[in-house]
Amino acid sequence: MRSIPIALVCAVTLAIAYSQPPKTPVDDYSDKAVAVPEFTIAIKLSPQAEKRLNDLHETIKVLAMFDGDPLPGQGHYNAPMRDVYLGSDEKLVDANNIAKFSSTKISQRHWNQLADKDYYVTINAFSARKTFKNNLLDCDVPDKHISTFAGRMIEIHCRLIGEPDVPEK
Exposure b/e, 12-28, CB count within 10 A at least 16 = b: eeeeeeeeeeeeeeeee
Going by DSSP bridges, is the β-strand pair 105-107/33-35 parallel, antiparallel, or unpaired? antiparallel
Q: What is the pLDDT of residue 36?
A: 96
Angle at the Cα of 35 from the Cα atoms of 34 and 38, rounded to 5 degrees: 155
Q: What is the pLDDT of residue 20?
A: 36
Distance CA(142)–CA(127), nearest Å, equals: 17
Mean pLDDT of 59-71: 92
Helix (H, G, I), strand (E, B) or coil at 39: strand
Residue 66 near residue 120 (C-beta atoms within 8 A): yes
- Report cis status (omega within 30 of 0) of the bond before 80: yes
What are the pLDDT digits (tens) for 132-169? 889 999 999 999 999 999 999 999 999 999 998 766 55
Distance CA(126)–CA(169), nearest Å, equals: 25
The whole model's pTM is what?
Answer: 0.76
Q: What is the pLDDT of residue 77?
A: 61
Higher-confidence position of 68 and 9? 68
**Domains parsed from the chain with CATH numbers:** 29-160 (2.60.40)
- Residue 75 in this model has a pLDDT that exceeds 70: no
